[in-house]
Structure 1
Amino acid sequence: MEENSSVYRRTNQEFEDRQMIVQDARGQENNFSLDRNGFCWGQWGGPTEWGDISAAGLKEMGHEKIQQGYIKAVERFIKGEVEEQDGETVEFVKVFDYKLQSSSDMGAFYKKNLNPADGLDTLIPVTHPHVDQSFDGAVARLHAHFGDDVVRLLKRRFRIINVWKPLSKVENWPLALCDSASVDFQDLIATDTVRRKYVGETFYSTFNPKQLWYYLSNQKRDEVAMLKIYDSNESATARFNLHSSFCLPDAEGWGERESFEIRAFVFDREH
């Protein structure tokens, strides 16, 4: 197939468009927490030595420098934020994946060969409400990344936390986050995620007008969103977070969105 002449289908799923109210949380962003709502916002600009990094800058920097700089810094950030919210000690945080996203040329995305294993192969904003890992998918991820150490790690509470960082002020395609307390578990549909060397599982959501959605208007590059994707603590109020990007009305001609998202395991101290 000639480049730019064909469209590559990424999924065999079928979606329908439905309208939901997404409330602007600006001015109330400190009222949300990971354990109560499944998400929160925090202040973090990234490694100070990076300055105002862009998507192009990340690609130029490459995986090795990202893992040595950004990844180690964000692991420290997650540990501090979770310990402050919980009042409990986190033993360690381990980033296992990251994704670069841009809305600059969404049409071209469907015409290129995509390498999902390359976190710098640019994705577009995802517009379907989803949870990156289902409950079974989270455990499968643990097995995939920790091998023989899984038996020991499963004896303690572990979470998967995403940190979503804008690389420029978000004027369009913001990230919408759903209050987990408003989600009926029956709304969620477990779906296979098939890669060349890995088969995982994610959740998608059916339409439910009772769900409560929020976003942060004009989100700045040092205002990061934290999402609880999974919690092994079955008594936790929030064990997952539905999220999705969406197009703001009358946003034509506004700035493009660039973002960098990491996914991390968070392990409590063994009791």
Structure 2
Amino acid sequence: MLAEADLEEEVRSVRAEISYLLPGPDINRRFVSAGVEVNTGSYGPFEVTVRDARAIKHHFTLDRQGFTLSDRPTAIRDFYDKDEVDRLYMDEVADHVRALTGASFVAPMGWMIRNSGDIAGYQKKQEGPYTHHGGVQPPAGEAHIDTEPSRADRQARAVYDKFRPGGPGYGRFIYSSFWRTFSPPPQDCPLALCDHRSVGDDEGVPNVLHVVDEIPTGDAMFAEMGDADLPAAAIFRYNPDHRWWYFSNMTRDEAILLKFHDSDHSVAWRVPHTAFWDTSFPDRQVRASIECRSVAYFE
């Protein structure tokens, strides 16, 4: 039986570019509007090895690497049908996350579709201010985690109080993403996941999220905006020790669960991730995927 290190080295791999944060301004912000995402930070490509976990998918667990792939069929017929997804998918995801984590209560926090092709035809004018929920965006193109550690406890408490008023309380929470591709394989821009064990606890800097009707420009991007009260992601600088993985040729009946933040730091507690362009397969297909965030509570 192969040792773990040998098992991981025997798998197929690809050389690809991962986008990391470069030296630049101290104020890092991510502005999002309909079909557009703009960062104030500068990012650059770094060539890395991305290993294909497909052949050893059962080797990956939430508590060891921080992510796992499993068979999770869905009743959704059309993921571009917002009403259908709103009506059915949140409950599906909550059930799957509860089963995968063993949590007693799961609060779904909304969903987003990402498409690596031309998304202009999917954009619909919203009434009132733009809301970053249930729309179609391009793939996220840099190494990041969707919540920054210093904000995670506060966010988890706010979500619990909203969804579970008068609840018994919780001892542990896991903030995660349930990620599914629904376009045929092989996808041209799959999701890369960084093994938690290769990431230092002190890595990452905040990137504050601003959901706006219009993207600001120039000096307006750096004006005072009350960042301390807003959600923020963690973004990462290049580290040659990072070990990147992906699951090639995913089907719509599979899903990845990856951790954004686990309050139990004795196990894998977060996973940097990003989209990347995989040129290793012929006849590549546009990647269409849906991600749903949730917080799982252990009461």
**Under a length normalisation based on structure 1, what TM-score does the superposition of the two structures give?**
0.80
Q: CA deviation at 1:184?
A: 1.7
- The structure that is helix-richer by fraction is 1
From 16, 19, 25, the equivalent of 2:47 is 19
Give the SS at the match of 1:244: strand
> Greater CA deviation, 185-194 or 203-212?
185-194
Structure 2 residue 163 is the aligned partner of structure 1 residue 135:
no
Q: Matched residues in 1 for 2:65 and 2:36: separation? A: 36
Q: Matched residues in 1 for 2:144 and 2:242: separation? A: 13
- The structure that is strand-richer by fraction is 2
Could you say what the CA RMSD is over the residues aligned between the two structures, in angstroms? 2.9
How many residue pairs align between the two structures?
A: 245
8 Å CA contact 2:36–2:137 kept in 1: the answer is no
Structure 2 residue 90 is the aligned partner of structure 1 residue 59:
no
Unmatched segments (≥5 aa) in structure 1:
1-6, 84-89
Q: Matched residues in 1 for 2:72 and 2:130: separation? A: 27
Q: CA deviation at 1:131?
A: 0.5
Give the SS at the match of 2:104: strand
Structure 2 residue 105 is the aligned partner of structure 1 residue 92:
yes
8 Å CA contact 2:182–2:289 kept in 1: the answer is yes
Q: Counterpart amino acid of 1:207?
A: Y
8 Å CA contact 1:137–1:202 kept in 2: the answer is no
Aligned to 1:202: 233
Q: Counterpart amino acid of 1:123?
A: Q
Q: Counterpart amino acid of 1:231?
A: D
Q: Matched residues in 1 for 2:116 and 2:96: separation? A: 27
Q: CA deviation at 1:43?
A: 0.5
Aligned to 2:181: 166
Q: CA deviation at 1:233?
A: 1.5
Q: CA deviation at 1:105?
A: 1.2
From 46, 61, 66, the equivalent of 1:38 is 66
Q: Matched residues in 2 for 1:11 and 1:112: separation? A: 23
8 Å CA contact 2:145–2:272 kept in 1: the answer is yes
Aligned to 2:296: 266
Give the SS at the match of 1:211: coil
Give the SS at the match of 1:34: coil
Q: CA deviation at 1:251?
A: 6.2
Q: CA deviation at 1:193?
A: 1.7
From 44, 66, 82, the equivalent of 2:101 is 82
8 Å CA contact 2:132–2:211 kept in 1: the answer is no
Residue 8 to residue 249, structure 1, CA distance change in 2 (3 Å) = closer
Please give the residue correspondences for 1:228-239 in structure 2 after superposition, counting only pairs within 5 Å.
228-234=259-265, 236-239=266-269
Q: Matched residues in 1 for 2:297 and 2:94: separation? A: 12
8 Å CA contact 2:90–2:110 kept in 1: the answer is no
Q: Deviations over 1:26-49 (max 9, x none)?
A: 1101101011111110101213xx
Percentage identity across paired residues of the two chains: 22
> Greater CA deviation, 66-75 or 16-25?
66-75
Aligned to 1:3: none
Residue 11 to residue 140, structure 1, CA distance change in 2 (3 Å) = farther
Residue 116 to residue 33, structure 1, CA distance change in 2 (3 Å) = farther
**Under a length normalisation based on structure 2, what TM-score does the superposition of the two structures give?**
0.73
> Greater CA deviation, 209-218 or 252-261?
252-261
Unmatched segments (≥5 aa) in structure 2:
1-34, 213-225
> Greater CA deviation, 38-47 or 252-261?
252-261
Give the SS at the match of 2:98: helix
Residue 252 to residue 29, structure 1, CA distance change in 2 (3 Å) = closer
Q: Matched residues in 1 for 2:36 and 2:293: separation? A: 26
Aligned to 1:145: 159
8 Å CA contact 2:53–2:245 kept in 1: the answer is yes
Q: Matched residues in 2 for 1:261 and 1:82: separation? A: 17
8 Å CA contact 1:187–1:207 kept in 2: the answer is no
